[in-house]
Chain A
Amino acid sequence: MTTFDANGITLERVREYVWEIPQEDGMRAPARVLASEALLEEIKEDKTLEQIKNTTHLPGITDHAICMPDGHQGYGFPVGGVGALDAENGCISPGAVGYDINCGVRMMRTNLTYDDLKGHEEELVDSLFANIPSGLGGGGVVEAGVDTVDEILARGVDWALEHDYAVEDDLLHCEDEGMREGADPSKISQKAKDRGKNQIGSLGSGNHFLEVQRVTDVFDDAVGEAFGLSEDQIVVLIHCGSRGLGHQTCNDYLRKIEQQHQGLLNQLPDKELAAAPAGSQLAEDYYGAMNAAINFAWVNRQLIMHRTRQVFERVFDRSWEDMEMDLLYDVAHNIAKKETHTVGDGEEREVYVHRKGATRAFPAGHPDVPKAYRDVGQPIIIPGSMGAGSYVLRGGANSMDLTFGSTAHGAGRLMSRTQAKNEYWGGDVQQQLEEQDQIYVKAQSGATVAEEAPGVYKDVDEVVRVSDELGIGDKVARTFPVCNIKG
């Protein structure tokens, strides 16, 4: 048997790109890592493998916990972690969803080509930066009272439709049509709502960004056509989440679990994995709150997209409809969803699939894929660093068998933020990107540019190659940045 020794943790090769950490003391299931040896060399360098092992201690873990090819160390659950926890006998874990509930990515198409955009880059990046709130304390597209926050939490993008921030077609190209069922605004604390009300329609900072991109490659013509993508086309990618409202909700529930379910917590190797037992009041409350925060994040991305359409209208002096600025799709990559899966013994089970830094990747024909894409599979958007390309994939035929219908979510960090700031200076990174790659970057903070420099990320090409080879998410197209704004 081929094994890989990762600083004291031995992984056994199941087949190409599939590695298993066998079940041992305290683990309720084996852990799997989906990676090439090159990616494993990077993954073994931090605590990712220890963290994916720890997640198998959660009650009700089904088949195995899985680390995606872009996995890296997080808190509790690794980033790039997928765990299906039995919805009847298992648990739901706020820590395994993460602080930024429904952090995710959406892509909007245009009918502009790169040639149409050339010469307008600076004007466009300046106008986007001036009009789309980013960073700390920058406000939101909408400043609202708590009543409005409650409506957004309950109705998601349907609220945006009513207030002319969305069109019907946007809803048809979003998971759950932009409205998560079972959302319960009353389970979100006043503190969380107070944080959220000034941030509706804002990017935040860190790794969140808005990018104007050009499509450089279409690898699969038929699926590319179904997604409306062609070479040289301009698209817009928006990456952000539920802002302070989601972060507060996660911590509110971590603390409640600590106070009410100490017994379960004491069985877990990391306090950050805190989970509420399935069927408990707290599990119900958290699920209602998380679904509401999911709606908030969708509206957040919708408002940013709406504002982006207005900016394009001004810069190009055409209506957004005329530029066919339509939503391609919106994917969440910090989320837990109750889904039905066929598990190891062939039985159908309801499980809470936790995807933290992982993206749902349902294949063609799955009833939960929106009608627009059901014949080709769900679109998956994988953002790369600001110097590398991003990818559009589609849910692969093997995803239901291998990963509870999931794949990677990005490039995955390689270098810490403190180290990045020692190695790079924001101004140099910005200048280099503009001169060498014609990428125009604008940020609230130079430190953010340094922390997000292309060199701090893993090779997104390798992450996507492994996803494609495994058949969990198949390559459809690649994009390259033109303008990037961040906090």
Chain B
Amino acid sequence: MGFELRDHTADVAVSATGDSLEATFGAVADGLAAASCDEIATESGERFSLSVTAEGREALLFDYLDELIYLRDVRAELPVDHRVDSIDVESADGTEEWALEASARGVPLAEIDAREVKAVTYSEMSLERTDDGGWEAYVVFDV
């Protein structure tokens, strides 16, 4: 359970597992934080919440990570210690709406040496169930 940073020629990839979809999304987000900063301050910064909706499970993961990168730039804080509280899906008329509620601690960028991860990508993205009932995800970020 948790994440690993994987080799990618130009960019950086995160491989993550969790016993629930929520834990897996949170682990990918922690991987994004680790790819941005080697030493993450353990106490600095306030927690904040965020909500994301999308039309599918993978799209929700993409939009969640995209939102975190957006919030990093406009709040001037690196989001760390991610918690995904809930992921719910509602279906109607053959379409789905996925909704995520999460929180993170925002460490002021001025306090750390963080590098810029430019964007989340769909390249080679996977999000699949594991044999033991958990989930595993693989996401490439553009650096």
Contacts and interface: CB of A to CB of B under 8 A. Distances in A.
Interface string B1-44: 00001111111100000000000000000000000101000000
Given A195-B70, A195-B74, A417-B143, A206 B8 contact: no
B140 interface: yes
Nearest to A208: B116
Given A137-B110, A255-B63, A198 B9 contact: no
B125 A99 contact: no
Given A248-B70, A255-B63, A418 B12 contact: yes
Interface residues of B, number: 40
A247 B124 CA distance: 19
Contacts of A99: 118-119, 121, 142
A444 B122 contact: no
Interface stretch (A67-75, A172-180, A345-353, A477-485): A67-75
B66 interface: yes
Interface centre among A136, A254, A414, A447 (most CB of B within 10 A): A136
A48 to B, nearest CB: 8
A376 interface: no
Contacts of B63: 255
Given A272-B121, A447-B115, A418 B7 contact: yes
A60 interface: no
A416 B9 contact: yes
Interface in A397-422: 413-419
Interface in B98-143: 108-110, 113-116, 118-125, 140, 142-143
Interface of A: 46, 72-76, 79, 98-100, 135-137, 191, 194-195, 198-199, 204-206, 244, 247-248, 250-251, 254-255, 258-259, 270-272, 274, 413-419, 444-448, 487
Interface of B: 5-12, 36, 38, 55, 59, 62-63, 66, 69-70, 72-74, 76, 78, 108-110, 113-116, 118-125, 140, 142-143
Those 7 A-B pairs whose CB atoms lie nearest each other, nearest first: A137-B109, A75-B123, A416-B7, A271-B122, A272-B123, A445-B113, A205-B116
10 contacts: A73-B9, A74-B11, A74-B123, A137-B76, A137-B109, A194-B73, A199-B73, A247-B69, A247-B119, A271-B122
